[in-house]
Amino acid sequence: MVALTQSTQTISNPGRLTVETIEIAEATTAIRCLDWDRERFDIEFGLQNGTTYNSFLIQAEKVALIDTSHRKFEQLYLEILTGLIDVNKIDYLVVSHTEPDHSGLIKDILQLAPDITIVGAKVAIQFLENMVHQPFHSMIIKSGQRLDLGNGHELEFVSAPNLHWPDTIFTYDHKTSILYTCDVFGMHYCDDRTFDENFTAIEEDFQYYYDCLMGPNARSVLSALKRIQKLTIGIVATGHGPLLQHHIPEWIGRYQNWSLEQAKTEKLVALFYVEDYGYSEELVRAIAHGSARTNVAVELVDINNAEPQEVREIVAQAAGLVIGMPPQSNVVAQAALNTILAAVDNKQAIGLLESGGGEDEPVYPLRNKFQELGLTAAFSPILIKEAPNKIVEQLCDEAGTDLGQWLNRERTIKQIKSFDSELEKSLGRISTGLYIITAKKGEVQSAMLASWVIQASLVPLGVAIAVAKDRAIESLMHVGDRFVLNVLEEGRYQQLMKHFLKRFAPGADRFAGVKTYPAASNESPILAEALAYMECEITTRMDCGDHWVIYSTIQSGRVAQVNALTAVHHRKIGNHY
């Protein structure tokens, strides 16, 4: 365990951005940029708890800075850094990966200290050459390579490709036993605590972050974990959220278990994209997110940086394929497309999308080729007309879910059939009402018919609803989200039920032709035909196998027909709604 805490300095500005510095080990300072109110991060992230961007300074005989910060911290970060050290004395800037939230200030550092040597993976250095447009000293490192800073601070680099970014590396300091991991083991969580002492406060954010960013590359996570197995780790210095010190085996164990779980899932969806071309990666990530909801494994592959053998292997393992169109002029990507075409088989499902980079390979001729080879189109090609907004993201997310559901169709039928008949009959005696849940978040809205709804508390007034993990509306039902619970009326519910049970195409407007008016709290649609409605806010989600049980408090409600009754749903068997 390492000796902690010396000074905490905080500078504020009106945008709720603060910076905190703290000595976390001998000659090692964490510079944590706290972004208290950031609402949205990557495409699929609805942030609840802000985020932090963590950078680290090691001052041994030689001085190394590990990562910088987001551009929005330009002034605050540079003020703090120059207060800690004369930047011209920094010998190395280690770039764990080149995502802008950590590399956004590299250009500023280079301007202040042009003699600094930038240390990173080959891809990272290449990327930075294109980004900063000025010559700089660089050191390309490989896994296992060491860099001696003196006074025992020997840095060892561990390559961790695809852990959210293709050029990711970890850095391990043999003197302090700190492993610097940037995005990996991070979370979007902002508070004053530097460390992870409060496990329960952060575990949900830790998992959500893993699900969104690491789960899609579970196999790569397992390879990286193997590489750090031999290290004795005192602190995991992450790039986002608290640093990990108090529960390291538990955090790493969770990554291991979740990734093993993902990797052994029978069905795999391989999603091919071209790094830095159009909106290829963000759209493919949204599709991956939607598929992962259906409990299939997903693997993202940057076709520019994948060996043909790797592409062939992953296509052979996959049950579903998604391709973000590469540029026609990119010879490497075109060759990868041919490799994919040669490796597919007719049991696979395919989904294609335009990447919006301006010179996309056209979608339809490729779609036709896959159809001729016998593959099933899991969703219609997604065409990009403009920079993707949240509605396009939702469309991609729902397309991914459709693909996953298609792959799981036999398993679902098997599960339904595997019930013991006495048990299923007795379970079927549980009866409920009928409801339509409606939710809106920004421009995106959705709805579903629900029967597994029950009052769950008196003080505060609260309800619990079981929502299948692969429901389209699930992404709008996280802690802090608001929705409307519409109660259907006995004898008058058939039309609404029929409407909301339709199979909606990805991104379809589920309210077309339905009379609604907006709820006061967040504009979720209230159905004009509902018997009653309640405005609810989600406070807890409980993982219950294939469903989330979502507990919400009720803010307000209204009844349209005081004497009318709620529609009742009786079932014969308990293995379906």
Contacts with ligand FMN, residue ranges (CB under 6 A): 448-452, 466-468, 471-473, 500-501, 504, 569, 577
Hey, what are 529's tokens?
A: 């035909």
Q: Identify which of residues 222 and 466 has a Cβ nearer to ligand FMN in the complex.
A: 466
Q: At its nearest, how many Å lie between ligand FMN and the CB of residue 252?
A: 33
Cα four-point dihedral sign 331, 334, 339, 340: positive
Residue type, 328: Q
Q: Between residues 368 and 494, which has the closer beta carbon with respect to ligand FMN?
A: 494
Beta bridge partners of 532: 487, 559
Q: What's the number of CA atoms in the CB half-sphere (13 Å) around residue 494?
A: 1
Cα–Cα distance, 552 to 444 (Å, whole number):
20
What is the rounded distance in angstroms from the CA atom of residue 159 to the CA atom of residue 121?
8
Instruction: Return the closest-CA partner of residue 485 out of 435, 448, 525.
Output: 435
Q: Is 546 helix (H, G, I), strand (E, B) or coil?
A: coil
Structure tokens at 32: 């944590």
Could you tell me the sign of the dihedral formed by the alpha carbons of 196, 197, 199, 205, in that order? negative
Give the CA dihedral 488, 490, 492, 493, nearest 10 degrees.
40
Cβ contact 278:328 at 8 Å? no
Q: Which residues of 298-316 are buried (b: 16+ CB within 10 A; e: fewer)?
A: bbbbbbbbbebeebbebbe
User: Shortest Cβ distance from residue 446 to ligand FMN (Å)?
Assistant: 7
Cα separation, 383 vs 355, whole angstroms: 8
Nearest to 322 by CA among 389, 397, 262, 387: 397
Residue 234 phi, psi dihedral angles, 5° rounding? -95, -40
**Which among 140, 240, 134 has a CA at the least distance from the CA of 196?**
240
Q: How far is the CB of 28 from ligand FMN (least distance, A)?
A: 48
What CA–CA distance (Å, rounded) separates 175 from 153?
5
Instruction: Say how far apart CA 113 and CA 97 lie, in whole Å.
Output: 20
Q: Which CB atom, from 219 or from 469, has the smaller least distance to ligand FMN?
A: 469
Closest CB to ligand FMN among residues 153, 569: 569
Q: Are 270 and 301 in contact (CB under 8 A)?
A: yes
Q: How far is CA 326 from CA 2, 316, 338, 359, 361, in A?
A: 48, 21, 12, 8, 6
Nearer of residues 364 and 577 to ligand FMN, judged by Cβ? 577
Residue 517 CA to residue 533 CA, distance in Å, equals 12
The DSSP output letter for 210 is I
Q: DSSP character for 521?
A: T
Instruction: Compare residues 140 and 549 and give the one whose CB is closer to ligand FMN.
Output: 549
CB of 454 to ligand FMN, least distance (A): 10
Provide, rounded to whole angstroms, the least separation between the CB of residue 535 and ligand FMN. Answer: 19
